[in-house]
Amino acid sequence: MDIETPINEVIEEIKEFGGDAVKFCYQCGKCDTVCPWNKVTNFSIRKLIREATFGIPEVELEEVWRCTTCGKCPQECPRDVRQIDDVVAMRRIATEYGVSSTLLKPVRSASACLAAEGNPLVQERSKRADWTEGLDVKPFTEEMEILYFPCCYVCYDKRLKEVATATVRILNKAGVEFGILGTQENCCGESIRKTGNEEIFKSLARENIKTFIDNGVKKILVSSPHCYHTLKNEYPEFKANFEVVHITQYLHELISEGRLQVSKGYEKKVTYHDPCYLGRHNGIYDEPREVLGKIPGLELSEMAEIREEGLCCGMGGGRIWIDTKMDERFSNIRVEEAVAMGAEVLVTSCPYCIDALEESRSGLNYEDAIQVKDITEILQEVL
């Protein structure tokens, strides 16, 4: 890193955050062979780990923000090094030392808006529930079956609001008693934590937990695997345990219980993209595929890198706020692959993945060749 951080402090911080794992790295390089960055450019997590461990200054500061936290390299490491924890620890140190770089300008802007308005999109809190206009959505009350916690992007982004609309129509159709907390919600804080801003993460998480408790929330439905991961696996750090369900799990449950009937066919060739935070980080691979399998006429074909080997879309780890050069986008590879196999629809179940895949689809001029959809958008068409 080109900051004057005493390396001992870095190592101590990483040990505190990531345990003793760093000292066991023996530089075999297996992590680099699976890292998606090496499909598009050169990036070595091995070198970052070496720098953190031994203080060998060989990497640029900006390399510290490359990792998308996709979870692929920890699966391969023979020494159980916790690369993601180590990278986040480096980012925390850099953030605490006030490191600045033009690359991080959008991250600073997202941080400021998260602190002021509870979302990273530079939008007003008062408009957080505007997406519900014209839909049958009630404010959450304690008697309801479930709270729908949509994700900031699903609340504010024009394309992603379609996911919220599809979700609501499905829930209404199944007769689910659900509500939202609207302007009381904050961002879950997952991505800002991965950029190293622990302070804002903690503040968002504490406020959300208080809001959930004050409103008598017990079960939470989410659209985003990033919200799923944080609410389910990280909020318990604050001694808060809610039942958290991702929409793919809930759709599977509603169909299995007969509450949701698939009545129409969907005569299209479809392929499914595994979101890292749904798949690798949380092991949810079967439910989305089983839901798609219930739709008559839908022909599901699989791409080469799926399930545990799934290719990252490139938006995790706070990269959603950092500009990635067009020829370095992993999502381009995904869209190219889906088009080459003749898929008419590339379906996924994560707002970040949809954002990345839609950008690649238009950037590569594939608008007429393929559609990108959330699983809820397909399902609403066949109910």
> Contact, 220 vs 244, CB < 8 A?
yes
- Identify which of residues 69 and 380 has a Cβ nearer to ligand SF4 in the complex: 69
Tokens 């129409």 — which residue?
Answer: 264
Question: Which one-letter amino acid corresponds to residue 206?
Answer: R
- Kindly determine how many residues on this chain lie close enough to bind ligand SF4 according to the rule CB under 6 A: 28
d(CA 69, CA 46): 14
d(CA 110, CA 296): 42
> Contact, 15 vs 79, CB < 8 A?
no
**Which of 31, 163, 244, 245 is the binder for ligand SF4 (CB under 6 A)?**
31
Q: Pick out residues in 46-65 that bind ligand SF4 (CB under 6 A).
A: 46, 49
Closest CA to 204 of 190, 194, 214, 218: 190
> Contact, 82 vs 21, CB < 8 A?
yes
**Phi/psi at 171 (5° precision):** -65, -40
Say whether residue 23 binds ligand SF4 (CB under 6 A): no
**Which of 45, 295, 354, 379 is the binder for ligand SF4 (CB under 6 A)?**
45
- Identify which of residues 73 and 154 has a Cβ nearer to ligand SF4 in the complex: 73
- Identify which of residues 145 and 323 has a Cβ nearer to ligand SF4 in the complex: 323
Q: Pick out residues in 196-235 that bind ligand SF4 (CB under 6 A).
A: none
Pair of tokens at residue 85? 């924890």
Say whether residue 21 binds ligand SF4 (CB under 6 A): no
Q: Pick out residues in 69-128 that bind ligand SF4 (CB under 6 A).
A: 69-73, 76-79, 81, 83-84
Q: How far is the CB of 132 from ligand SF4 (least distance, A)?
A: 35
- Identify which of residues 357 and 378 has a Cβ nearer to ligand SF4 in the complex: 357
Q: Pick out residues in 304-333 that bind ligand SF4 (CB under 6 A).
A: none
| 149: β partners | 222
270: left (phi over 0), alpha (psi -120 to 50) or beta: beta
**Which of 3, 20, 27, 116 is the binder for ligand SF4 (CB under 6 A)?**
27
- Identify which of residues 21 and 217 has a Cβ nearer to ligand SF4 in the complex: 21
